[in-house]
Amino acid sequence: MIRLNGVTKDYLTEHGFHRAVNNVSFTLQRGEKMAILGLNGAGKSTLIRILCGIETPTRGTIERTMSLSWPLAYGGGFQNNMTGNDNARFIARIYNRPYEEVRDYIEDFAQLGKFMSEPMRTYSSGMRARLAFALSLAFDFDCYLIDEVIAVGDQRFQRRSQEEMFEKRKDRSLLLASHDAGIVRQHCTKALVLHRGRGKVFENLDLALDIYKDL
């Protein structure tokens, strides 16, 4: 279970405090799949950073009784002067997973070849995304967090990514932030609609998408 209770996030700007997330509450049970809908600036990215622990809320609480991934394909934790292999080794240590297993999965999934031994500052944005996506799926989480990154890489890589995420892990919980109504309908059963930092959960997915469309 993941439960948010009154989560609020304020930022200090040159014009004063800006409230990016305002008193958001919801519960996600094991196996549930929820969309996060909102226009740009509605608070989606802030909420996602709070959910995965990159940021802490100003107020409110988060209760987790199941493991939650970082956002799939998120590369913000990479060290650019380290090689792809060294970054993978570092994360494997954090999650107490044998590095050889993680390396083998990444090599098979991302197929970056010799670039795994090159510093990540030499990677293209597509190569970084492929490594980050493969690294995300190399670990077994109870709940996966996806932030608009389903269309990574070429068609072959996209097909395999969707198979790994939505078929092989169909029993896992999912938090999916997306502007694509088709993807939301295909993979989610309820939605959190965010508007100016405030959020409401709808069990009726069609109603949630209609409200989101009219924002």
pLDDT grade for 72, boundaries at 50, 70 and 90: confident
Q: What does the alpha-carbon distance between residue 66 and residue 16 come to, in Å, rounded to a whole number?
A: 36
- What's the mean pLDDT in 180-209? 95
How high is the pLDDT of residue 166? 87
- What's the mean pLDDT in 80-100? 94
- What's the mean pLDDT in 107-130? 92
CATH class of 1-67+172-215: alpha beta
Q: What does the alpha-carbon distance between residue 78 and residue 63 come to, in Å, rounded to a whole number?
A: 27
Whether the predicted pLDDT of 150 surpasses 70: no
Comparing 61-65, 74-78, 137-141, the range with the smallest average pLDDT is 74-78
- Please report where in the chains the tokens 């295909």 appear, as a residue: 186
Q: Which two tokens stand for residue 197?
A: 């930092």
Percentage of the chain surpassing pLDDT 90? 68
Q: Are strands 190-195 and 198-202 parallel, antiparallel or unpaired?
A: antiparallel
**For the chain, where are the E strands, in sequence order?**
2-13, 16-28, 33-37, 59-64, 68-71, 143-147, 173-177, 190-195, 198-202
Query: In angstroms, what is the C-alpha Rg of the chain?
Result: 18
More confident residue, 168 or 72: 168
Contacts within 8 Å (CB) and 24+ apart, 103-112: 105/134, 105/137, 105/138, 106/131, 106/134, 106/135, 106/138, 109/133, 109/134, 109/137, 109/138, 109/160, 109/164, 110/134, 110/157, 112/84
CA 151 → CA 81, 104, 173, 204, distances in Å? Answer: 27, 23, 20, 26
Q: What residue spans define the domains of the chain?
A: 1-67+172-215
Q: What does the alpha-carbon distance between residue 111 and residue 130 come to, in Å, rounded to a whole number?
A: 9
CA 170 → CA 60, 123, 140, 187, 195, distances in Å? Answer: 30, 31, 13, 9, 29
